[in-house]
Structure 1
Amino acid sequence: MNFLNKLRGDKVIWAIVVLLALISFLPVYSASTNLVYVIGKGSTLGYLFKHLVHLFIGFVIIFWIHKVPYHIFRALSMLGLPVVVALLIYTLFQGTTIGGANASRWIQIPFVGISFQTSTLAFTVLMVYVARYLAKVSDKEYSFKDSLLELWLPIFGVLIFILPSNFSTTALIFSMVCMLLYIGQYPLKYLGVVLGSGFVVLMLFFLMAKAFPDNKLFSRVSTWESRVERFLHDEPNEDDYQIEKAKIAIASGKIYGLGPGKSVQKNFLPQSSSDFIFAIIVEEYGLIGAIGIVFLYLLLFFRFIINAQKASTLFGKLLIIGLGFPIIFQALVNMAVAVELLPVTGQTLPLISAGGTSIWMTCVSIGIILSVTKKDEEVAQDEEEKKQRDEALKRIIDREIQEGSTENTEEEIDESPNPLEPVLNQ
C-alpha cells in the first residue's frame, strides 16, 4: 500500500497499463510454443520469464520517468537528437542482412547481448522535440524558412536513416509528426509544402532503388513493392500465408474462443507472439476477448484526450498527444493487419506483444505522459521527497567527512612525539 501511495499521475492510465501487461502473459506463453515445438528453440517457461523481465524493466522505467518533472524533457530532446541520429547511422551501416536484404534495424548492446531497435528510440525523442518546438513558437510569428532548419532538418534527418530498412516505421513516424503539427497549429500551407516535398523525396528514393537495385540500401524496396502489389491484387505469397493463418485463427475463435492455451494456429503462424498476437488472442478468447482489448486501448485513448485538455502548459498537452496517440495508432495498425485491412507492416501490439525494445519505449512514453498528468499536490510531494532524499544524502556525506576527519586527527596525535619521552628515557 505504501508503494501505491508513491504512484503519481492519472490512476486510470496506471490501471489500464497494468491490465494490458497482465493480459499479455497468457497469449505470449501460449504463442511461444511455436518457437519451442515448431522451430525447436528455447522453452515456453523461458520465453514467459523473458517477457516478465521485459515488463518488469518497463515498469521500472515508467516509475523512474514519471517522477521526473516533464519540463526537463525539453532539454533532453535537444541533447538526445544528435545521439539518436548517430545511432541510426551506425545501425544502418553496420551491415546486417537477412536473405540478402537490408535488415539493419537492431544493434547489439555491448556486454549484455540484448538487441535494441534504434528507430523506436528515435520515434520517442523526435516527438518530444517537435512538441518542444511547437510550444516554443506558439506565441511567435515565423516563416517556413525559420522552421526549415530547426524543425524539418532534424525530422528528415531522422527519417532518412530509418527509411532504407523500415518503411512502415518511417511512414508511421512521419504521419504522427504531421498529426502533432496539425494539432499544434503549425500553418497548413507550410505543412502542405512539406507533404509535397516528402512525396518527391520518396519518389526519388524509389527511382534510385530502380537505378541501383544491387545496392544494400535499396534492397528492401522490392519487398515493399511486392507486399503492396500482392495485397492489392490478392496474390499468394509468404505474407498471404501469414494473413490466411491469422484469419483462420480469428474465425476459429467465434464468440467465446477456444480457451486459454488452446490455439491451433499458433503452431503455424509465424510471429504469433509478436506481430500476430492479436489473432491468437481472438482464437483463444473469441470476439469477447477482441472487444475487450479494443475497449482498453480506446479507454486509454480517451484518458489521453482528457489529460491533454487538463494539462497546464502547451508543451504538456503536446507531449500527451505526441507520445500517447502513436501508441493507440500502432495498436490499431497491428489489429488491422491481422484482419487484412492493411498489408503486413511488422508493428507490434503495444504492451502485449513479446519484445524488449517495443515494450521499453512504450513505457518511456507512458512515463512521460504520467509525469504531465501529475496534480499540483503530487508535484509538491515529489519535490518534498526529493528534498528529504537530498538532505539525507547530505547528512551521510557530512558524517563520513566528519568521521574521516576524526580518524585523521587521532592518527596525527598517535604519530606526534611525546615531549616527556626523553626525560623518561633518562
Structure 2
Amino acid sequence: MKIREILQNLEGDKTIWAVVALLGLFSFLPVYSASSNLVYVVGNGTTMGHLLKHGLLLLLGFGIIYGVHRIPAHYFKGLSIIALPGVIVLLVYTLAQGTTIDGANASRWIRLPLVGITFQTSNLAAVVLMIYTARYLSKIKDRQIRFSESIIPLWAPVFLVVVLILPANFSTAAILFAMVLILCFLGGFPLRYLLGMVAAGVAGLALFVLLAKAMPGVFPNRVDTWISRVENFWDRTDSEGDYQIEKAKIAIASGGLVGNGAGKSVMKHFLPQSSSDFIYAIIIEEYGLVGGFLLMFFYLLLLFRIVVVANANESVFGKLVVMGVGLPIVFQALINMGVAVELFPVTGQTLPLISSGGTSIWMTCLAIGVVLSASRKPAKEEVQTDKNKEEHPLEILSGQL
C-alpha cells in the first residue's frame, strides 16, 4: 500500500494524529543526543545504532496505531475478555522468571525468544485491564449495583493484575490502581465503594511491605529500593542517594530559558537513564524552559482532545474506554516531568513517545490506536451493531469473535 493511500485511510481525530506524529518526530533529537551516554559511558553500541533502533520501534508503533484504529471500537469489549487471562498468565510467567540485570532483580521483563528483545508485560496488562474495566462499567451503567456483585467480575481481576505487577514495579502498579479508581469514579461507580477499595489497597500494600521485609530473599532489592527513594525524596541531606535528582536539577538549571542547543547537553554523560527516565531533564538542558513548556503543552493538548473525543462519543463504552486508556498516557508524562523537577520521588516511568524503549512506545501506541478508533465516525451498520450489543450484553462476546 502506497503512503498516499495510507494517509487517505487515516481516520479519527486529526489533532491527536498530529500531536502523536510531532512527539514521535521530536523524540529523535533527544534520544540521539542522550544515547551518547550509553555509547561512551556504558560502552553499549553506537549512537546511530540507538537512533535506528528508536526509529524502528516508532515505525512499528505507528503501525500498531494504524492497525488498531481501523478496528471498530465496540470490538475491544470482547477482545478484552479474551486478552485478560492471557496477560495474567504472562504476568505470572514474568514474575517467575523475570530477567536479572547486573545482579539486580528486574522481574518486569521477559525476553522474546525470536527477536531477542525484552518486553515489559505490565504495560500490556495495564491497557487490557483499563479496556476490561471500561467494558464492565458500561455494562452496569444505569443499574443499581451492590458491591458484592462487582467483586468477581471487576475487583478480583483488578487486584490480581495489580498484585502480580507490584513485586517488581511499584510505581506502575500504583498508577494502574489509581487509574482504575478514577475510571470507576467517572463511570458512576458508588464513591463509598471506591473509598473502601482505596483502604483495601493501602492495607494490602502495607501487608506486602511487611512480608517482604520479613522475607527479604523473596523479593530482593525492590522494597528497599522503594523505601530508599521515598526517604531520599524527603531527606535532602542524603546527596549520594539523591544522585539522579541532583544531576537532573543541574541539567535543568544549565538549560536556562532557551537551552544550550540540540545535542549540547553535558549532564547526559553523568545522568543515569538519560535517554529514558530522565530524558525530560536533558530536553530542558538542550532546549530550555521554552522547549520544556512546549512539550508539556502538547501533552496537555493531547489530554484536551482525549476529553473532547470521549465527550463526543455516543456510546457509554466509547466514552469510558477513551478516558481509560488515554488518561494514563498524559498522567505518566506529567509524573515523568515531575520526577525530573523533584516534585515526586523517582518512579522509573518513561516519557511516552519520547523516551527510548520498545514496550513503552508500543503500548502507548496501542492505547492511542484505541482512542482513535473510538474517535472515528462509524458507518451506520456499525452504529446499529453497537446499539444492539448494548441492549443485549450477553451477546457482546459471541458477536465480536
User: CA separation in 1, counterparts of 2:173 and 2:239?
Assistant: 24
Unaligned regions of 5+ residues in structure 2, if any? 386-401
Q: Residues 317 and 34 (structure 1 numbering): CA distance in 2 closer, same or farther, change over 3 Å?
A: same
Cα deviation per residue 1:276-304 (whole Å; 9 max; x = unaligned)? Answer: 11111101111110111011001110001
Cα deviation per residue 1:126-181 (whole Å; 9 max; x = unaligned)? Answer: 00000000000002222100000110000001011111111011101001011100
CA RMSD of aligned residues (A): 1.6
Q: What's the offset of the Cα at 1:257?
A: 0.6
Q: What's the offset of the Cα at 1:97?
A: 3.3
AA partner of residue 7 (structure 2)? L
- Picking from 115, 121, 124, the partner of 2:124 is 121
AA partner of residue 147 (structure 1)? S
The structure whose Rg is larger is 1
Does the CA-based 8 Å contact 2:65-2:366 persist in structure 1? yes
Matched, 1:140 2:135: no
Q: What's the offset of the Cα at 1:326?
A: 0.5
Q: How is 1:149-188 mapped onto 2 (pairs within 5 angstroms)?
A: 149-188=152-191
Does the CA-based 8 Å contact 1:8-1:378 persist in structure 2? no
User: CA separation in 2, counterparts of 1:286 and 1:267?
Assistant: 18
Matched, 1:112 2:125: no
User: CA separation in 2, counterparts of 1:26 and 1:378?
Assistant: 44
Q: How is 1:221-236 mapped onto 2 (pairs within 5 angstroms)?
A: 221-236=223-238
Does the CA-based 8 Å contact 2:11-2:69 persist in structure 1? yes
User: CA separation in 1, counterparts of 2:229 and 2:381?
Assistant: 49
TM-score of the superposition, structure 2-length normalised?
0.92
User: CA separation in 1, counterparts of 2:108 and 2:237?
Assistant: 28
Cα deviation per residue 1:378-401 (whole Å; 9 max; x = unaligned)? Answer: 998xx9xxxxxxxxxxxxxxxxxx
Q: What's the offset of the Cα at 1:239?
A: 4.9
User: CA separation in 1, counterparts of 2:109 and 2:132?
Assistant: 23
Q: What's the offset of the Cα at 1:96?
A: 3.3
Q: What's the offset of the Cα at 1:101?
A: 4.2
Q: What's the offset of the Cα at 1:240?
A: 1.2
User: CA separation in 1, counterparts of 2:57 and 2:380?
Assistant: 28
Matched residue pairs, number? 380
**Counterpart secondary structure, 1:3:** helix
Query: What's 1:305 paired with?
Result: 307
Query: What's 2:33 paired with?
Result: 30
Matched, 1:320 2:322: yes
- Picking from 61, 64, 82, the partner of 2:64 is 61
Q: How is 1:29-48 mapped onto 2 (pairs within 5 angstroms)?
A: 29-48=32-51
**Counterpart secondary structure, 1:116:** strand
Does the CA-based 8 Å contact 2:98-2:110 persist in structure 1? no
AA partner of residue 257 (structure 1)? G
Identity %: 58
**Counterpart secondary structure, 1:341:** coil
Does the CA-based 8 Å contact 2:99-2:110 persist in structure 1? no
Matched, 1:355 2:361: no
Q: Residues 94 and 185 (structure 1 numbering): CA distance in 2 closer, same or farther, change over 3 Å?
A: same
User: CA separation in 1, counterparts of 2:249 and 2:30?
Assistant: 17
Cα deviation per residue 1:307-366 (whole Å; 9 max; x = unaligned)? Answer: 111001010000110011100000000000000111110000000000000000000000
User: CA separation in 1, counterparts of 2:156 and 2:181?
Assistant: 14
Query: What's 1:251 paired with?
Result: 253
Unaligned regions of 5+ residues in structure 1, if any? 384-426
TM-score of the superposition, structure 1-length normalised?
0.87
AA partner of residue 310 (structure 1)? A
User: CA separation in 1, counterparts of 2:47 and 2:380?
Assistant: 41
Q: What's the offset of the Cα at 1:237?
A: 5.2
User: CA separation in 1, counterparts of 2:22 and 2:99?
Assistant: 36
Q: What's the offset of the Cα at 1:218?
A: 5.5
AA partner of residue 314 (structure 1)? V
Q: What's the offset of the Cα at 1:99?
A: 5.7
User: CA separation in 1, counterparts of 2:161 and 2:8?
Assistant: 39
AA partner of residue 70 (structure 2)? K
Cα deviation per residue 1:87-118 (whole Å; 9 max; x = unaligned)? Answer: 00010010533465431000011111011000
Query: What's 1:340 paired with?
Result: 342
Does the CA-based 8 Å contact 2:98-2:109 persist in structure 1? no
Q: Which runs of 4+ in 1 moved over 6 A?
A: none
